C-alpha cells in the first residue's frame, strides 16, 4: 500500500473537474486529548476522513509498577494494585489476593468470599455505568448521560467509602480474607443501592437504545472477526459482544461463583452497539448475583487467622491467578523465592491486550468513529501503561 498518496477518487465522485493527486494526512491524536481517556496517543494516517493506518502509542503513564512490586513486600503492593485500573480497585485487589493465596495455599473464610463477590459485582456495576457515560461523551453527548452515570455511581462509591474508607483507592482485601468486617447498616444500604439500580437501567435504556443518532453512530462500526479477537487474546465484554461465550466467572468458577445462577449476555456482530448493549445486560446479571449474595451472606470471621500481616513469606513456587474484571481477564503472575518480596511480578492487564486490535477496528472507519471505537473498548490508561 502506498502510504503517501491517497487513493484516487472513484469514477464520477470527484468534487471538481480535475482532482489531481491528493496526499494522505498524518494526524496525531493525543496524548493530551479529552477523548483518549488519559494520556494515550494515536498516530492516524488519513485519506480524507477515512483512516488508512492507525498506530497506538502508549507508555506516557508508565510508572514501573511491576519492578516496584519486586522491591517491596507482598502486602505493600496491594495499594498499588488499586492504581492499575482506578475505576475497579476492588477487582484488582481480588486478582492479586487470589494469586498470593494460590501461592501460599491460604484458605479464605466463607463470609470473606461472599464479601468479595458483592464488592466485585458492585465494582462491575459502577464501571459499566461510567463506561456508558464516557462512551456517550465520546460521541458528543457530553454531559447528561455522564452526569446521570456519575450520580448513580456515587451511590456505589458511598458504599465503598463506608466500608473501606476510600471511594476509589479501596485497598480492602488482604491475603486470606478482607481487612475489616462490615460496619453496622452496610448490608441494608447496599440492598437499597441494588434495589435502585433497575430503575436507573430502565432510564438508561429508554434514553439510549432507541435513540436514532446513537444507533447511527454505533451500528456496524468497529466490528472485528471473532477469530481475530480470539487470536489477539481479547477478553471481557469485547469478546462476548462478538458472540463468544467466555466468562471466567463461568470458566474458572473462582471464589464462590459456582453458587450463583447468572447468564452471560452475548452479542451478534461485535460492533460498538453490541458492546454497549452487552454492558447494559451484564449489569442486570450482576444485580441478580448481588441480590442472592446479599441474601445469603453468612456470619463468621472475615479473615483467615493463619494469614500473617507482617513478615509474610509464601513458599517458593509460582502462581497465576485470574479473575473476570469488568474490562476482561485480569491476571497476576507471581514467582516466589521464599523472600518477603516476589521474585517476579507480572500483570496481565485486560485494557492493554484489548487495545491490540485497535488498528483493525479503525481502518476504513471515519476519523470521528475512532473515538467511539476507542471508547467502546473501555480502557484505563493506568492499567495499559502500568
Partner 1 sequence: MRKLKQLPGVGLLKGMLVTGRNFFGSYRNPRRLVTVSYPEQRLLLPESSRNFPFLVYDGNDSVEGLRCVACKTCERECPSGAIRIVQARDENGRPAKHPERFEIGIDACMGCQICAEVCPFDAIKMDSDYEHAATGRTRPMVHNKLRLAKSNTYYHRIKPREAAEVDARLEMERFRKEEARRKREEAARMKKEAAAKAAAAKPEAPENS
Selected from 31, 79, 233, 243, the binder of partner 1 by CB under 8 A is 79
Distance of CA 28 to the CA centre of its chain: 25
Distance CA 214, CA 303 (A): 47
> Which uninterrupted H or E stretch holds 155?
helix 144-164
Selected from 55, 64, 67, 209, the binder of partner 1 by CB under 8 A is 209
> Taking CB under 8 A as the rule, does residue 168 contact partner 1?
no
> Which uninterrupted H or E stretch holds 317?
strand 317-325
Residue 277: CB minimum distance to partner 1, A: 7
Q: Identify which of 164, 187, 183 has the alpha carbon closest to the alpha carbon of residue 293.
A: 187
> Taking CB under 8 A as the rule, does residue 347 contact partner 1?
no
Closer residue to partner 1 (CB): 43 or 304? 304
Q: How many residues bind partner 1 (CB under 8 A)?
A: 43
E-strand ranges in 86-223 read: 173-174, 177-178
Closer residue to partner 1 (CB): 42 or 276? 276
Closer residue to partner 1 (CB): 46 or 241? 241
Distance CA 186, CA 163 (A): 7
- Which region, judged by CB under 8 A, interacts with partner 1, from 93-101, 154-162, 236-244, 325-333? 154-162
End-to-end, the C-alpha distance of the chain in Å comes to 34
Evaluate whether 171 touches 79 at the Cβ level (below 8 Å). yes
Selected from 6, 24, 46, 78, the binder of partner 1 by CB under 8 A is 78
Selected from 14, 76, 192, 316, the binder of partner 1 by CB under 8 A is 76
Distance CA 148, CA 226 (A): 33
Q: Which residues bind partner 1 (CB under 8 A)?
A: 72-73, 75-80, 82, 144, 147-148, 150-151, 154, 158, 161-166, 169, 171, 179-180, 183, 203, 206-213, 215, 219, 268, 273, 277, 309-310
Amino acid at each position: 500500500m502506498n502510504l503517501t498518496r491517497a487513493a484516487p477518487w472513484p469514477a464520477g465522485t470527484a468534487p471538481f473537474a480535475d482532482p489531481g493527486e491528493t496526499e494522505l494526512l498524518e494526524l496525531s491524536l493525543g496524548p493530551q486529548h479529552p477523548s483518549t481517556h488519559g494520556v494515550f496517543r494515536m498516530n492516524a494516517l488519513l485519506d480524507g476522513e477515512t483512516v488508512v493506518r492507525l498506530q497506538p502509542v502508549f507508555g506516557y503513564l508508565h510508572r514501573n509498577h511491576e519492578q516496584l512490586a519486586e522491591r517491596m513486600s507482598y502486602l505493600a503492593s496491594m495499594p498499588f494494585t488499586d492504581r492499575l485500573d482506578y475505576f475497579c480497585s476492588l477487582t484488582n485487589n481480588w486478582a492479586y489476593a487470589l494469586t498470593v493465596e494460590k501461592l501460599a495455599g491460604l484458605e479464605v473464610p466463607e463470609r470473606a468470599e461472599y464479601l468479595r463477590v458483592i464488592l466485585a459485582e458492585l465494582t462491575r456495576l459502577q464501571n459499566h455505568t461510567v463506561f456508558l457515560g464516557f462512551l456517550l461523551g465520546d460521541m458528543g453527548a457530553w454531559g447528561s448521560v455522564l452526569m446521570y452515570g456519575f450520580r448513580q455511581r456515587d451511590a456505589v462509591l458511598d458504599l465503598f467509602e463506608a466500608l473501606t474508607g476510600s471511594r476509589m483507592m479501596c485497598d480492602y482485601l488482604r491475603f486470606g480474607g478482607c481487612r475489616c468486617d462490615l460496619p453496622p447498616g452496610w448490608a441494608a444500604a447496599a440492598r437499597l443501592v441494588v434495589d435502585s439500580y433497575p430503575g436507573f437501567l430502565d432510564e438508561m435504556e429508554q434514553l439510549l437504545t432507541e435513540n436514532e443518532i446513537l444507533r447511527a453512530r454505533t451500528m456496524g462500526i468497529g466490528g472485528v472477526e471473532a477469530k481475530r479477537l480470539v487470536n489477539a487474546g481479547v477478553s471481557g465484554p469485547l469478546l462476548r459482544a462478538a458472540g463468544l461465550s467466555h466468562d471466567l466467572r463461568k470458566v474458572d468458577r473462582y471464589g464462590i461463583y459456582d453458587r450463583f445462577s447468572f447468564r452471560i449476555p452475548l452479542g451478534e456482530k461485535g460492533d460498538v452497539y453490541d458492546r454497549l448493549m452487552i454492558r447494559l445486560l451484564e449489569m442486570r446479571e450482576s444485580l441478580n448475583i448481588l441480590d442472592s449474595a446479599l441474601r445469603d451472606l453468612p456470619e463468621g470471621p472475615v479473615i483467615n487467622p493463619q494469614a500473617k500481616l507482617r513478615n509474610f513469606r509464601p513458599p517458593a513456587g509460582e502462581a497465576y491467578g485470574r479473575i473476570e474484571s469488568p474490562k476482561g481477564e485480569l491476571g497476576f503472575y507471581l514467582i516466589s523465592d521464599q523472600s518477603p518480596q516476589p521474585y517476579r511480578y507480572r500483570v496481565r492487564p485486560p485494557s492493554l491486550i484489548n487495545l491490540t486490535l485497535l488498528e483493525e477496528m479503525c481502518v476504513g472507519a471515519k476519523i470521528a468513529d475512532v473515538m467511539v471505537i476507542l471508547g467502546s473498548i473501555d480502557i484505563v490508561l493506568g492499567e495499559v501503561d502500568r
